[in-house]
Amino acid sequence: MQGKLPHIEWLDLKGDGVLHECAIMKRDPNNNIYFFKVEPLDGVDKKRLRDIITSRNATMFPLWDLMRQNRLGNGINALDYFHQLVRVLTPSGSIMEPQYGVIGASAGPSAQQMAEQSDLAQTTAEPVAEPVAESQTPEVGEADTRTPAEKRAATRAAKKTK
């Protein structure tokens, strides 16, 4: 249930019908909700949060980005300060701490799709240059089209065979 201020919602965290006032940091594509409870904050922290969510850009960006761009009165970045309170509400209703390598799964994407979306899957391995045999070295007058890595490999291979 949406609150009166942007990024504030009332969530049923335990599935028992009791709603808790929470600041919503972000929602990811798997319907995980990154949040923290507003209730346990002291007066100073509630004022800090209110100042952030009532700024003129509050409706244009997720709270995560707003906090990343703000410094608190004590000089600490707002995201660094509030991040320690953040929890994740998964689509199945579990509450967990955000951590690398763990994500709440919804009924939507399969494990294979999640593996493909992983940031590890996005990295590409560079092929290892095969050592160039001496017979592949260009003759005098021919243009050498090998890359510097291939030339180094050929030089090293030639030194090993001597």
Full pLDDT tens readout for the chain, 162 residues: 676 788 999 988 888 889 999 999 988 888 889 999 999 999 999 999 999 988 888 888 889 888 898 888 888 899 898 988 999 998 888 888 887 767 676 655 555 666 666 666 566 656 655 555 554 555 666 677 788 888 888 888 888 776
pTM: predicted TM-score of the whole model, two decimal places: 0.60
Given a contact cutoff of 8 angstroms between Cβ atoms, the answer to whether 12 and 18 are in contact is yes
Please list, in sequence order, all residues whose beta carbon lies within 8 angstroms of the beta carbon of residue 1, skipping any fewer than 6 positions away: 9, 10, 19
Phi, psi dihedral angles at 134 (to 5 degrees): -65, -25
Given a contact cutoff of 8 angstroms between Cβ atoms, the answer to whether 76 and 52 are in contact is no
Residue 90 DSSP code: -
Q: What is d(CA 22, CA 51) in angstroms, rounded to the nearest whole number?
A: 16
Q: What is d(CA 65, CA 52) in angstroms, rounded to the nearest whole number?
A: 11
